[in-house]
Amino acid sequence: MNRDNPFIGQSLAFLDSVERVSRAAQLNRPVLVIGERGTGKELVAERLHRLSPRWDGPFVPMNCAALTETLIEAELFGHEAGAFTGATRARAGRFEEADGGTLFLDELGTLSSGAQERLLRAVEYGEVTRIGANRPIRVDVRIVAATNEHLPKLVDQGRFRADLLDRLSFEVITLPPLRAREGDVAQLSDFFGRRMASELGWPSWPGFSKAAMAEMEGYGWPGNIRELRNVSERAVYRWDDPSTPVADIVFDPFASPWRPISGQGMVAAEAVASPVPGTVTAPAPDAPGELRVAVHAYERQLLEAALVRNRHNQRATAKALGLTYDQLRHCLKKHGLLETA
């Protein structure tokens, strides 16, 4: 398996899908893998191949959405020299490359009607014909296809062939989204964080703080495992103190007071109207007796602004304010800011 793509999890939903993958791998039948983006569909396809009797044959992936409609058929089935403009020499298609192994078709729902018709023949008869050729070529290929679309609905809409769906859906494995995999967020984030710490040369892995882990476990993960990997690794590489648990989590890397608004350049309109985060305006007391209240409020504003400027890194914040780490913690506790720091 690809070491960059860990097959990790302990939830019942995940283990159930793993069991179905392992059972389906032994049979020489097509498999459809359904799942949201980032759930690991290609990883499942690789596992289906590695656990099958075809494990020593080629595993050939192809993203159907990455090619234009005019190129998909040539990519899948190959072409002869002179078959079309630019075809200066003959080229084998993905089916021929995958002979004796597995062909993984990602984003299956984007295939054109012409490609679907030719794919149907290849699945049915085990033959492909290069564009510009007259004779078919026999191929022995197992097809694993993946999509995040509901293919029966596409059939109803006339966008996908019902007979092709029938031939490809011997087994349909629907991968659970990360938000449904109880306990797997902690396990996966620890794996990604530990790996990033090693890449950065940290002497040891301090883990994530309880508050940070609670944030991650409460998040909805629309991007699933791919998004979790980015969030975990980004949090580690931005953390300045390898001796303390990583406590700052940024889910949206595009969040910024200067993010562009369509047609308005790089300075957001609301950023012009609002103070820049990290700046402080001293509150003026309305009466002499309110001086203590005003000083207390101003001190809190200073702390909040310094935390924002230093990305909630408490040691960096203490240094910026000329305080010791313990003094900063005392001030944060006094103002009730420990929970948000």
| CB-based contact 212:339 (threshold 8 Å) | no
Same domain, 66 and 135: yes
Q: Is 4 contained in some domain? A: no
* Predicted local confidence at residue 320, as pLDDT: 84
Domain boundary among the residues 129, 154, 176 is at 176
Structure tokens at 148: 């995040």
Whether residue 41 sits in one domain with residue 164: yes
- For residue 46, the surrounding DSSP H or E stretch is helix 41-50
In a domain? residue 49: yes
pLDDT in tens, the chain (341 residues): 444 556 899 999 999 999 999 999 999 999 999 999 999 999 999 999 999 999 999 999 999 988 877 788 888 888 888 777 777 788 888 999 999 999 999 999 999 888 898 899 899 889 988 888 888 899 999 999 999 999 999 999 999 999 999 999 999 999 999 999 999 999 999 999 999 999 999 999 999 999 999 999 999 999 999 999 999 999 999 999 999 999 999 999 988 777 787 655 554 444 444 444 555 555 555 555 567 777 778 888 888 888 888 878 888 888 888 888 878 888 888 888 876 66
- What distance in Å separates the CA atoms of residue 244 and residue 204, rounded to the nearest whole number? 10
Indicate if 132 and 189 belong to the same structural domain.
no
Domain-located, residue 114: yes
In this structure, are residues 93 and 128 in contact, taking their beta carbons and an 8 Å threshold? yes
End residue of a domain, out of 203, 226, 255: 255
Q: Is 279 in the same domain as 239?
A: no
What is the total count of domains within the chain?
A: 3
> How far, in Å, are 23, 51, 102, 286 from residue 57 at the CA level?
19, 12, 7, 80
pLDDT at 98: 95
Query: What pLDDT was estimated at residue 269?
Result: 41
Question: Do residues 24 and 145 both lie within one domain?
Answer: yes
Whether residue 268 lies inside any domain: the answer is no
- Is 51 within a domain? yes
Residue 322 Cα distances to 2, 239, 241, 318, 325, angstroms = 48, 20, 18, 6, 10
Print the domain residue range for 107.
12-176
Which residue, 176, 200, 219, sits at the end of a domain?
176
d(CA 134, CA 97): 20
16, 126: one domain:
yes
In a domain, 214, yes or no: yes
Query: What CATH number should be reported for the domain holding residue 80?
Result: 3.40.50.300
Q: Would 129 be classed as within a structural domain?
A: yes
The pLDDT value recorded for residue 60 is 96
Say yes or no: 138 and 199 in one domain.
no
Same domain, 19 and 155: yes
Do 17 and 166 lie in a common domain? yes
pLDDT for position 144: 97
Are 30 and 148 within one domain? Answer: yes
Distances (CA, A) of 206 to 185, 201, 226: 17, 13, 22
Q: Is the pTM of this model over 0.85?
A: no
